[in-house]
Amino acid sequence: MLWQLPFVVSVALVAIGLYICIVKTNMVKIVMGVALMESGANLFLVALGYRENGTAPIFYQNPNPGAEMVMPTTQALTLTSIVIGVATTALLLAFTVMLYKRYGTVDTRRARRLRE
C-alpha cells in the first residue's frame, strides 16, 4: 500500500490544480494551479522510474551485477518537464502582468467585461 502513495499524491496534485484552474478567476491563482499540475506530472514520472534498491545508471564498475537499475528515461523526461514548466510559468506570469497593466485587475471575469 505504501508504494502507491506517490501515485495517489500525484493524482491529488493534478486534481487540485485542475480544480483551481477551473473554479478560480484570479490569474495568479490560475498560474499556481498550472504549477501544481506540473508538479503532479513530475512526481508521477519520478515515481514511475523508481526501482526498489536500484542503482544509478552511470558508467562505473557496478558492485551488484545482478541489481536492477532505475529508469534513466523518466529522469530525463522529468528534467525536460521542469524546464518546460518554468517557461510556461514565466509566460503565464508575463501574461498576468500585461493583463494587470491593461485592465488594472487580475480577475478574468472583470477583464472579460471590460472588453465589451
Of 63 and 34, the structure prediction assigns the larger pLDDT to 34
Share of the chain above pLDDT 90, in %: 58
Cβ atoms < 10 Å from Cβ of 71: 17
Which residues 6+ apart lie within 8 Å of 53 measured at CB?
67, 68
> Which segments within 18-115 are labelled E, that is strand?
none
Domains of the chain: 2-51+70-115 (1.10.287.3510)
Cβ atoms < 10 Å from Cβ of 13: 20
Q: Give the phi and the psi of residue 77 in degrees, each rounded to 5.
A: -65, -35
Cβ atoms < 10 Å from Cβ of 17: 21
- List pLDDT tens digits, range 60-92: 666 666 667 777 888 889 999 999 999 999 999
